[in-house]
Amino acid sequence: MGYTENELAKDLENQEYKFGFVTNIESDKAPKGLNEGIIRFISAKKEEPEWLLDFRLKAFALWKEMTEPEWAHVHYEKPDFQDITYYSAPKQTKKYESWDDVDPEMKETMAKLGISMEEQQRLTGVAVDFVMDSVSVATSFKSKLAELGIIFCSFSEAVKEHPELVRKYMGSVVPMTDNFYAALNSAVFTDGSFCYIPSGVRCPMELSTYFRINEGGTGQFERTLVVADQGAYVSYLEGCTAPQRDENQLHAAVVELIALDDAEIKYSTVQNWYPGDKEGKGGIYNFVTKRGLCERNAKIAWTQVETGSAVTWKYPSCVLKGDNSIGEFYSVAVTNNYQQADTGTKMIHLGKNTKSTIISKGISAGKSQNSYRGLVQIHKSADNARNFSQCDSLLMTDECGAHTFPYIECKNSSAKIEHEATTSKIGEDQIFYCLQRGISEEKAISLIVNGYCKEVLNQLPMEFAVEAQKLLAISLEGSVG
Amino acid sequence: MITIKNLHASIDGKEILKGLNLEVPAGQVHAIMGPNGAGKSTLASVLAGREDYEVTEGSVDFDGADLLELSTEDRAREGMFLAFQYPVEIPGVSNVNFLRTALNEIREYRGQEAISAKDFMAMVREKSAIVELDPKLASRAVNEGFSGGEKKRNEIFQMAMLEPKLAILDETDSGLDIDALRIVANGVNKLRSEKNATIVITHYQRLLDYIIPDVVHVLYDGRIVKSGPKELALELEEKGYDWIKAEQEAK
Ligand SMILES: Nc1ncnc2c1ncn2[C@@H]1O[C@H](COP(=O)(O)OP(=O)(O)OP(=O)(O)O)[C@@H](O)[C@H]1O
Ligand SMILES: [Mg+2]
C-alpha cells in the first residue's frame, strides 16, 4: 500500500519554510575571504598532513586560473568569493562518547529536522553521521559497522585514521581540474563523510548523513568519498535542510563514489535547502559535482529528490569503465516560485555491455525554470552499450518553464539508445476528480505529484521515501494555477 | 434529500441550465433522460461543485445544507457522490491509496477516526465483491489503462466504498456490456436504502429495467420539462425526443 498522507496535512498547515531556524552555537571561524593563508588556516585547524595541504594549495592555484561557468538557463548573482567564511566550527569540539553527551540544543535541532536520533537508531537501523556546519558532531553504530570492517566517519577523521585510503581515492573520480566548483571545493573543503566497505561485505544498514548549513554567510564545502571494494554493497543516504537566510549561501560539494569489481553503491539524496522566499530572495546556491566510477560488473544508482535551493546545478554521473557495469539515475527535481534548477546526469560508457538508465521527473511551479540536461556518451570501446532515458516534465502553472536537453554522443555503432520525453500540465480534471471524492486540493496535488514521481520514489528506502513525499507536498503548496 | 429550485448556471458566459427544478426525496431513485447537449452532465457538475460553472440564480438544499455555499470537497464529505461520465486517470496513484485518502478525509470531516489498514482492506474486499470488480484493479493506479467498462465499474466500487447520501450516476451504463450492466445495476440496487437517494442519468431505458426508478425526468434545454413514472422512459425510447421538442415549442 502507499504511504499515509495524513501526516502531510499537518506539515501543509505551515506555509513558511519548515526548517527555517538557526541554531545558536558560537562559532570558531575563519575571517571572511579566500587566500593561501585561509587555506593554511583550515588545514592547520584540522591538523592535516602535509600531502593534504599540498593538495589544497595546488587546487587553489588551479582555481584562480579558472573562470566561473555560465549556463544558458540559469540566471543568478555570482557569489563574491571574498565575502564568504570558509571555516566555522561549533565551539564545542570534543567528541561525544554517547548520545547523552550530545548538546541538548543540537538534539533539538535534529528533532526539528524530524530525525530524532534515538528514533532513527531504534526504529530504522540507520547509522547517522550528523554534520553541523563543518564539523561532525555525532556518530553512531560505529562499533557494529567496525565489526564488519566498514569505515563510516567524517572526512577529517578518515584523513587521520585511514590516510592511505583517502589518499588513494580522493580526486580519482572528480579531479580537482574537473570544473570551477570542484577546484574550489578541493582547495577549501572543511569536512564531509567517508565510507569504505571491504571486499565481499554487504553493509547491513542504510548509511545516512544529514548535512546542514548553519552559520550565516558560511559557504559549505563538503566532500564525500564512498568506496565499495570488490563485491561489496552499500546504500548511502544524504539529506539536507538549511536555515532560512537573507543573503545567498553557496554550497559546492564534491561526491565521489567508487564501485570496484562486482560492487554496488546506491546513493540517495533528499535535498531540501532553503529555496528563497516567494519573491526569490535568499536561498541556497547549490553547485555540486557528483560522480561515480564503476569497475567490472559494478553498479551505481543515483536517486535524488530535489526540492530546495535557489539555484541548483548538479549532474550526478556514472563512468562505466568496467565491462558489464551499470549506471542508473532516478531524479525528481521540483522548482517553485523563482527557483532555478539545471540538473541531469552524464553516463559515460567505456566498457563493453555497459548499461545505463535515466528516469528524470521535473516538476515546475510558480515562475520557476526547470532544465534537464543529460549526456549519454558511448565511447569506441563500449561494444553493445545500452541506454534508456525517460524525461518527463510536469507543469503546475502557465508561467513556469521546463526544458529538456538530451545530448547523445555515440562512437560505437553497436549501441542501443532510447530516449522518451513528455511534458504535461497538471490536470484540472484530476484535481476535480479528487475533490469530488472529498480529498482536499493540497492533498490531491500531493497524490497526483507523488503518483507522477512513483518510479523514482520507489527507488528510495521506505523511510526516506516518506520524507521525500512530505518535501514534495511542502514545496508545491498552493502551486496550481 | 435534494431540492433544486430555479437553478441557472452558465459556462464561459453561455447559459446551460435555465431555471431547473428538481426534488429527489431520500429512499428514491430518479432517472434523468434527455437529448445530447441538454445539460445533464452540466447539472451533475454544478451539483458536484465544478468551478468552471457559474451559478447565476437559484438554490439547492442538500439534506438541510445550502449546497451552493459548500466547497467541492465539503459537498463530497457531506455525502454527495458523482460517478463520472468520463472517469479520470491518475497515473501512479493506486486505487486503494486514493480511496483510503478520500475515506479518511471524509471521516475526519465527520469527526471520525481514521480507518485502520486492516478494516480498510476488509472493506475493499467486501465492496469490490458487490460490483464484481477484479481485486487486482483495486491495487492498480486509478483508472490508468482500465477499459471503458472497468472504469465505470470502478466508479460504482468507489461509490460503494464512500457510502454517499446522494449518488449521481452520469451515463454509467454507456460502454458496459450486458453482463457488466447487470452487475453494476445490481451493485447500485444493493446500495439503495431508505437513507440515500440516487440520480441516474441515462440515454437507455434498458438500464431502468434493472434499476427501477421512482420517477423519470426529461431534461431539455436546461430545464426539467416533463416528469413521470418509469413508463415515461419506454415512451421516450419509442418516440424519441421530437414530440418533447414540439411540445416545448408550442408553449
Ligand atoms: N466551455 C463551454 N462553453 C460553451 N458551451 C459549453 C461548454 N461546455 C459545455 N458546453 C455546452 O453545454 C451544453 C450541455 O452539455 P452537457 O455535457 O451538460 O450535455 P449532456 O446533456 O450531458 O449531453 P450528453 O447526452 O451528450 O452527455 C452542450 O451544448 C455543450 O456544448
Ligand atoms: Mg453528459
Helix (H, G, I), strand (E, B) or coil at B178: helix
Euclidean distance between CA atoms A127 and B47, whole angstroms: 54
Q: Residue B97: CB partners within 8 Å, gap ≥ 6?
A: A1, A2, A3, A5, A447
Cα A357 from chain centre: 19
- Residue B87 corresponds to which cell in the numbers above? 472517469
Which residue positions in chain B have pLDDT lower than 50?
none
Euclidean distance between CA atoms A378 and B207, whole angstroms: 61
Burial class (CB in 10 A: 0-12, 13-18, 19+), A140: buried
Residue of minimum CA distance from atom 30 in ligand 1: B37
Which residue positions in chain A have pLDDT lower than 50?
1-26, 91-96, 109, 113, 115-116, 119-128, 131-140, 210-218, 242-244, 246
Report the length, in residues, of chain A: 481
Residue of minimum CA distance from atom 19 in ligand 1: B37
Q: Residue A71: CB partners within 8 Å, gap ≥ 6?
A: A313, A342
Euclidean distance between CA atoms A224 and A255, whole angstroms: 5
Euclidean distance between CA atoms B152 and A242, whole angstroms: 48
Euclidean distance between CA atoms B205 and B203, whole angstroms: 7
A431, A480 Cβ separation under 8 angstroms: yes
Euclidean distance between CA atoms B95 and A52, whole angstroms: 56
Given CB atoms, is A479 within the 8 Å cutoff of chain B?
no
Euclidean distance between CA atoms A472 and A33, whole angstroms: 36
> Can you count the helices (H) and strands (E) in chain A?
13, 23
Give ion ligand 2 contacts, CB < 5 A. Answer: B 40-41
Q: Calculate the CA dihedral of residues A404, A269, A159, A139 and round it to 10 degrees.
A: 170
Q: Residue B102: CB partners within 8 Å, gap ≥ 6?
A: A434, A437, A438, A439, B76, B158, B161, B162
Looking at residue A186, its amino acid is S
User: A251-261 b/e with 16+ CB inside 10 Å = b?
Assistant: bbbbbbbbbbb
- Which run of H or E residues covers position B43? helix B40-48
Which residues from chain B sit within 8 angstroms of residue A434, using beta carbons?
90, 98, 102
Phi and psi angles of residue B168, each rounded to the nearest 5 degrees, phi first: -115, 115
A5, B104 Cβ separation under 8 angstroms: no
Given CB atoms, is A424 within the 8 Å cutoff of chain B?
no
Q: Which atom of ligand 1 is nearest to the CA of B35?
A: 25
Q: Calculate the CA dihedral of residues A434, A436, A442, A444 and round it to 10 degrees.
A: 0
Cell match 549506471: residue?
Answer: A327
Backbone region of residue A238 per phi and psi (left: phi > 0; alpha: psi in -120 to 50; beta: other values): beta
Ligand 2 centre distance from Cα of residue B249 (Å)? 23
Which residues from chain A sit within 8 angstroms of residue B76, using beta carbons?
435-438
Angle at A410 between CA A408 and CA A412, to 5 degrees: 160
Beta pairing class for A401-410 and A369-378: parallel
How large is the ipTM? 0.95
Model pTM greater than 0.90?
A: no
Given CB atoms, is B50 within the 8 Å cutoff of chain A?
yes
Q: Give the residue from A387, A302, A288, A291 showing the smallest Cα distance to A341.
A: A288
- Residue B164 corresponds to which cell in the numbers above? 454517499
Instruction: Given CATH 3.60.70.12, say whether it is the number of domain B2-250.
Output: no
A234, A226 Cβ separation under 8 angstroms: yes
A427 and B50: CB-CB below 8 Å? no
Q: Give the residue from A246, A57, A45, A58 showing the smallest Cα distance to A134.
A: A45
Q: Calculate the CA dihedral of residues A361, A364, A369, A373 and round it to 10 degrees.
A: 10
Q: Say which of A435, A436, A451 has its CB closest to residue B90.
A: A451
Supply the mean pLDDT for chain B.
Answer: 93
Euclidean distance between CA atoms A426 and A441, whole angstroms: 12
* pLDDT attached to residue A105: 55
A224, A193 Cβ separation under 8 angstroms: yes
In this structure, the residues whose C-beta lies within 6 A of any atom of ligand 1 are: B 11-12, 14, 16, 34, 36-42
- Which run of H or E residues covers position B117? helix B117-130
Ligand 1 centre distance from Cα of residue A397 (Å)? 26
A322, A294 Cβ separation under 8 angstroms: yes
